Structure 1
């Protein structure tokens, strides 16, 4: 059986101490197979965003473990952690996080600039990503001048430039009207199906969650529902594009 791309084992996350302590996650365990599309859903304050931040290595769990293809991420630190996060993950956030007065292309190539990719290669790959998202004609425009849907497509292009294994999407259609949001959803699920990118969506939108292969429901810091037919721990739905090496290089 292939090693899951993500293995979560009894993950707990607390903030504060003593009477001010808040337990955001209270012992969550599950696996994600490469190529799955997974919706993490729950109400505000349920712990779903905290879970995403720990899965994406943006925050460390208080206890428990998260492994990327069998590599315990607690062993990653410094440059190795940053390199793993930069090469393995792409991020699509509700708030876009674009630099308003920078060009669309400059926004898109930022992850490659951080990774030290040479300028000519950054431009080539950035333009290829914009072409894929039908935004090549906007490359020189300032990000502030894009529509909401164009901004979210630019964010997806930015998420793609480092050829990620996993895309995390946090309420990716939350700031969009329904028709524009449907276009953005289609783009994300096409990337999942056609490129084999593992797609992890944090949302409270039941319609969006229904499009995923699987629903993980978080309530009060606990996993209360997992719709995978074989239950947590099974990883027999792998259909990814990469081999089983090099996630945490």
Structure 2
């Protein structure tokens, strides 16, 4: 069955985008990063967005994660138009509905591992004792409890990425957005990080959206879309 937007109603779409465009600059300097993209992301699936550098894949992730507004088109979160969300609702979605794992880690080097993982809970206004307990639980899940008092600078690349995953998990998100999550890691460590992400997807039902140029990583996802010149070139299901 199709809804009025043309989407299959079997299995709820957490995020839907319709005819999304994203343009930077104007005149001779104009760059069309997205050109009429339509896509549904469904509860519990794993989705890979692949494409060459400059294809628009990271821009699409930023739009899906409500980190950037499209120039044209519609973004729906749980069937609600993102343009209708108040600033507080947008911030709550970014803080609680979504978790983020980036290639660059974005850890605060002068803070402890525990303090880095607590950051989303601090932003959410959770009391100190509760946020420490919840952050420690996330670290234990990633087998990093023994590193809680270490500074982020004292960790290996693989440990830093596991801390980033713990921080993404700490608010029990429905979706994890991962932008080149293994790009800075050696093959063996990258595989470990992949296994963690797909275990969370499989065992906890967390929806996983991965932006990558790694074909092997993309092949592990339920669905793969290829972006080229701001358009979806092809889509494949595993």
Please give the TM-score of this superposition, normalised by the length of structure 2.
0.95
Q: For 2:87, which of 78, 101, 109 is the aligned residue?
A: 78
Equivalent position to 1:41, from 25, 42, 50:
50
Structure 2 segments unaligned to the other structure (5+ residues): 1-9
CA shift for structure 1 position 85:
1.3
Measure how far apart 1:204 and its partner are.
0.2
Kindly indicate whether residue 213 of structure 2 is the aligned counterpart of residue 204 of structure 1: yes
For 1:181-220, list aligned pairs within 5 A: 181-220=190-229
Q: Which has the higher contact order (CA 8 A, sep 6+)?
A: 1
Is the 2:17–2:76 contact (alpha carbons within 8 Å) kept by the matching residues of 1?
A: yes
Q: Hey, what does 1:112 align to over in structure 2?
A: 121
Which residue does 2:103 correspond to in 1? 94
Q: Tell me the C-alpha RMSD between the 2 structures.
A: 0.9
* 8 A Cα contact 2:20 2:36, kept in partner: yes
Aligned counterparts of 2:182 and 2:11: Cα–Cα separation in 1: 32
Query: Over residues 128-153 of structure 1, what are the superposed CA-to-partner deviations in whole Å (9 max), with x where a residue is unaligned?
Result: 00000000000000000000000000
8 Å CA contact 2:173, 2:206 repeated in 1: yes
Instruction: Answer whether contact 1:8 1:65 (CA < 8 A) is retained.
Output: yes
Shift of 1:228: 3.5
Q: CA deviation at 1:218?
A: 0.2
Matches within 5 A, 1:98-247: 98-228=107-237
- Post-superposition offset of 1:77: 3.1
TM-score by length of 1: 0.90
Instruction: Give the equivalent residue in structure 2 for 1:21.
Output: 30
Contact 1:3 1:70 (C-alpha < 8 Å) held by counterparts = no
Instruction: State the partner residue of 1:54.
Output: 63
- Number of aligned residue pairs: 229
C-alpha separation between the residues in 1 aligned to 2:86 and 2:61? 19
Structure 1 unaligned segments of length 5 or more: list them.
Answer: 230-249
1-structure distance, mates of 2:11, 2:198: 23
Does residue 11 of the first structure (1) align with residue 20 of the second (2)? yes
Query: What SS is found at the alignment partner of 1:154?
Result: helix
Contact 1:26 1:221 in 2 (8 A): yes
Q: Secondary structure at the match of 2:210?
A: strand
- Aligned to 2:13, the other structure's residue is in SS state coil
Residue 190 of structure 1: how far off its partner (Å): 0.1
How far apart, in 2, do the equivalents of 1:165 and 1:15 lie?
Answer: 30
Preserved CA contact (<8 Å) 1:40 1:203: yes
> Which aligned runs of 4 or more in structure 1 are off by greater than 3 angstroms?
none
